[in-house]
Amino acid sequence: MNSGTYLFTQLMDSLPKRDFDRCVLKYRGNYRTRHFTCFDQFLCMAFAQLTYRHSLRDIETCLNSVQPKLYHLGIRGTIARNTLAIANQNRDWRIYADFAHILIAHARKLYARERFAVALNQTVYAFDSTTIDLCLTLFPWAHFRRRKAAVKLHTLIDLRGNIPCFIHISNGKMHDVKALDHLPIEAGAFYIVDRGYIDFARLFRFQTHMAFFITRAKTNMQFRTQKSRLVDKASGLRCDQTIVLTGVNTAEEYPQSIRRIKYVDPDTGKRFVFLTNNFALDALTIAKLYKCRWQVELFFKWIKQHLRIKTFFGTSNNAVKTQVWIAICFYVLVAIVKKEYKLERSMSEILQILSLNLFEKTQLFKALSVKIDKKATEPSHKPLPLFDF
Q: Which backbone phi and psi does 243 adopt, to 5 degrees?
A: -130, 165
Q: What is the three-class DSSP state of 177?
A: helix
- What does the alpha-carbon distance between residue 197 and residue 216 come to, in Å, rounded to a whole number? 9
DSSP-assigned letter for residue 278: -
- What does the alpha-carbon distance between residue 259 and residue 241 come to, in Å, rounded to a whole number? 6
Could you read off the pLDDT of 84-118 as tens digits, one per residue? 999 999 999 999 999 999 999 999 999 988 877 77
Which is nearest to 289 in space by CA: 38, 80, 87, 119?
119
Task: Provide the pLDDT for residue 267.
Answer: 85
Task: Provide the pLDDT for residue 377.
Answer: 47
* Percentage of the chain modeled with pLDDT above 70: 94
Beta carbons of 163 and 108 less than 8 angstroms apart: yes
- What does the alpha-carbon distance between residue 155 and residue 296 come to, in Å, rounded to a whole number? 8
Domain boundaries, the chain: 7-95+314-368, 194-292
CA–CA distances in Å: residue 242 to residues 46, 189, 218, 229: 51, 21, 16, 8
Beta carbons of 85 and 313 less than 8 angstroms apart: yes
Could you read off the pLDDT of 214-242 as tens digits, one per residue? 999 999 999 999 999 999 899 999 999 99
Which string of DSSP letters, residue by residue, matches 279-323?
A: -SS-HHHHHHHHHTTHHHHHHHHHHHHHSS-SS-S--SHHHHHHH
Q: What is the mean pLDDT of the chain?
A: 89
Task: Provide the pLDDT for residue 373.
Answer: 53
Per-residue pLDDT band for 35 (boundaries 50, 70, 90) equals confident
Task: Provide the pLDDT for residue 68.
Answer: 87
Q: Which backbone phi and psi does 170 adopt, to 5 degrees?
A: -135, 170
What residues have CB less than 8 Å from 277, skipping those under 6 apart? Answer: 203, 206, 207, 212, 213, 256, 258, 259
Pairing of strands 212-216, 190-192: parallel
Sign of CA dihedral 198, 304, 73, 82: positive
Q: DSSP alpha helices (H): ranges in the chain?
A: 7-12, 17-26, 38-51, 56-65, 70-73, 81-90, 94-110, 200-208, 250-253, 283-291, 294-306, 317-340, 347-357, 364-369, 374-377
Beta carbons of 201 and 251 less than 8 angstroms apart: no
What is the C-alpha end-to-end distance of the chain, expressed in Å?
A: 59
Task: Provide the pLDDT for residue 1.
Answer: 47
- What does the alpha-carbon distance between residue 184 and residue 301 come to, in Å, rounded to a whole number? 24
Could you read off the pLDDT of 291-350 as tens digits, one per residue? 989 999 999 999 998 888 888 999 999 999 999 999 999 999 999 999 999 988 889 999
Per-residue pLDDT band for 18 (boundaries 50, 70, 90) equals very high
Could you read off the pLDDT of 355-386 as tens digits, one per residue? 988 888 888 888 888 665 545 445 555 554 54
